[in-house]
Amino acid sequence: MSQSETACGNLLEQHGITNVKSVQRNLCTPALYEEIIRRGEGSLSHQGPIVVSNSNYTGRSPNDRFIVKAGQSGEDIWWGDVNRPFDPDKFDALYNRMMAFLQERDLFVQDCFAGADKDYRLPVRVVSTRAWNSLFARNMLIKATDAELENFVPGFTVVAAPDFKTVPEIDGTRSEAAIIINFERKLILIATAAYSGEIKKGVFSVLNYLLPKQGVLPMHCSANVGANGDTAIFFGLSGTGKTTLSADPNRRLIGDDEHGWTDKGVFNFEGGCYAKVINLSPEAEPEIFKCTRSFGTILENVGMDATTRYVDLDDASITENTRAAYPISHIPNIVPEAQAGNPKNIIMLTADAFGVMPPISKLTPEQAMYHFISGYTAKLAGTEKGVTEPQTTFSACFGAPFMPLHPSEYGNLLKDKIREHNVSCWLVNTGWSGGPYGIGSRMKIRYTRAMLNAALEGKLDKVDFEQDPIFGLHIPQSCPDVPAEVLNPRNTWEDKAAYDAKATELAKAFHANFAKFADGVTEEIRNAGPLAK
């Protein structure tokens, strides 16, 4: 073991990791490429991206995610189907078993930060058994400078061991996979689940617990800023268009997935982007498409010709949830400091599989609160294990799987910031039009972009609006570059009675879902949802 490896090995001993074969700390991207190829973890593709596959876990595994119930966090967490408690003694035993597994193995370490705002950033150490997981961490988190690495002390440590399988009968897990967060020990364990999104979402979950205690709103959103300094944030779950819609050549990108909102403004948690790339179009999404042809990008579960090494972004043979992980610096039009001022507009994205939500509507502050807490969308194929077609879902705060606290904690922070900064709020449906999934068609991205541009540029401020009789949303009656009949979803259905029935069905689902939050919000917010009951 070299001197640098010895030093890093000593650093790992504080985590209980000993007797390892080798440790490679903070390898640069070319060196990690060499390790990935040498170890047979992936292949070099045409024009430079590295292609990796993890066919057993092609999406997040939310049913295998746990939080250790201990100490102050045990009292703070909103326990339930999302935040499942894990016994601290079971965690300790499992951790010891995993540390024994890591002995005599090659390990890769990345020391990075989560959070561009130095007042709130979290030092994160990612220890992995696979070189490509280390490259993923290097791409997705914020790299530390040489000076910062000199005295780097992790605030949280992630140990990712995809080859380590838990034993439910012994470990208390649900399956051989487990993603376990321990706030008291400042650890995240990832076993078996090789999907790299578990690393970034584990860190995101930690920030979602820590930051509200400091008055910072953590958000599952993308963000960009216009030429006039007008910041916009885009809430939405995976597959609703956060990454695609925020990568606008006319606006500078702050980040594509996770941000914090302080009194000063918005800051990115990450240093990279993790874009869904199935059927990616060079015409509609040129900047992201270019990244899939760039050195340093990881293409996860993307099809590739073994002879020519050309990738096929239309290939869904492994999963619909094909991904590209690349440094945000691959995008030409970014905010280098990854921070900007307070938002002027908030966009809430939904992929409505019923095909009854308007493609764009303006929200009152009360409606914004209602829809933020509701977090309606459809889970799209591949974003979670076992999801093969869109499923209607409500995900509180547009990110319930990553929110350890009660939704009202985040909702109240959002409410206060909207009022303080007089933010305009919009609900945008990137889902289906002309009928439900299987009958209608997905909203054309050029229409969605035109509607967003009109909202962000103030072109909808003076148009007439009509109120939807079922959802109570305010729909613009005209929008530049968008056919008028597209704006009202009822007009796109041939069978109007079928539309009314389906819209009423969804309205009832909204009311049923919101009932569990009703006691924590005001009557004004409770009444801001759909009108039909």
User: Per residue in 353-383, is it b (16+ CB within 10 Å) or e — as a string?
Assistant: bbbbbbbbbbbebbbbbbbbbbbbbbbbbbb
Q: Single out the catalytic residue among 65, 125, 242, 251.
A: 242
Please give the model's pTM, rounded to 2 decimal places: 0.91
Contacts of 242 (CB under 8 A, 6+ apart): 221, 222, 234, 235, 236, 256, 257, 349
- Residue linked to tokens 């000199």: 150
Catalytic annotation present for 60: yes
Q: How buried is residue 501: exposed, middle or buried, by Cβ count under 10 Å (0-12/13-18/19+)?
A: exposed
- CA atoms of 156 and 185, how far apart (whole Å): 8
**230 backbone dihedrals φ, ψ, rounded to 5°:** -85, 115
Beta strands in 395-480 (DSSP E): 424-429, 432-433, 441-442, 465-467, 474-476
Catalytic annotation present for 352: no
Catalytic annotation present for 317: no
Q: Single out the catalytic residue among 134, 205, 238, 492.
A: 238
Beta bridge partners of 272: 327
- Residue linked to tokens 């401020």: 461
User: CATH homologous superfamily for 274-330?
Assistant: Phosphoenolpyruvate Carboxykinase, domain 2 (2.170.8.10)
Catalytic annotation present for 201: yes
Q: Single out the catalytic residue among 230, 257, 352, 468.
A: 257
Catalytic annotation present for 383: no
Question: What residue segments make up the domains of the chain, in order of their start?
Answer: 21-41+65-214, 217-271+337-526, 274-330
> In tens digits, what is the pLDDT along the chain, a chain of 533 residues?
333 454 555 678 888 888 999 999 999 999 999 999 999 999 999 999 999 998 888 988 999 999 999 999 999 999 999 999 999 999 999 999 999 999 999 999 999 999 999 999 999 999 999 999 999 999 999 999 999 999 999 999 999 999 999 999 999 999 999 999 999 999 999 999 889 999 999 999 999 999 999 999 999 999 999 999 999 999 988 778 888 888 888 999 999 999 999 999 999 999 999 999 999 999 888 989 999 999 999 999 999 999 999 999 999 999 999 999 999 999 999 999 999 999 999 999 999 989 999 999 999 989 999 999 999 987 655 555 566 666 778 999 999 999 999 998 999 899 899 999 999 999 999 999 999 888 999 999 999 999 999 999 999 998 999 999 999 999 999 999 999 999 999 999 999 999 999 999 999 999 999 998 888 788 889 999 998 65
Catalytic annotation present for 323: yes
DSSP letters along 148-188, please? Answer: HHHT---SEEEEEETT----HHHH--SSS-EEEEETTTTEE
Q: Single out the catalytic residue among 65, 130, 185, 323.
A: 323
Per-residue confidence (pLDDT) for residue 377, from 0 to 100 = 87
Q: Single out the catalytic residue among 65, 220, 330, 371.
A: 220
Contacts of 165 (CB under 8 A, 6+ apart): 176, 177, 191, 192
- CA atoms of 262 and 266, how far apart (whole Å): 6
- Residue linked to tokens 């764009």: 360
Sign of CA dihedral 331, 333, 337, 338: negative
* 493, two tokens: 């259905």
Q: Single out the catalytic residue among 192, 243, 374, 433.
A: 243
Catalytic annotation present for 118: no
- CA atoms of 303 and 208, how far apart (whole Å): 34
Q: How far is CA 430 from the centre of its chain?
A: 17
Q: Single out the catalytic residue among 65, 201, 251, 362.
A: 201
- CA atoms of 530 and 533, how far apart (whole Å): 8
Per-residue confidence (pLDDT) for residue 2, from 0 to 100 = 38
Beta strands in 210-363 (DSSP E): 217-225, 231-235, 252-255, 258-261, 266-268, 272-276, 298-300, 303-304, 311-312, 323-327, 339-340, 343-350, 360-363
CATH T-level assignment (fold) for domain 217-271+337-526: Phosphoenolpyruvate Carboxykinase; domain 3 (3.90.228)
- Residue linked to tokens 């605030």: 155
Per-residue confidence (pLDDT) for residue 307, from 0 to 100 = 96
Per-residue confidence (pLDDT) for residue 389, from 0 to 100 = 63
Domains 217-271+337-526 and 274-330 share a fold: no
Catalytic annotation present for 73: no
CATH T-level assignment (fold) for domain 21-41+65-214: Phosphoenolpyruvate Carboxykinase; domain 1 (3.40.449)
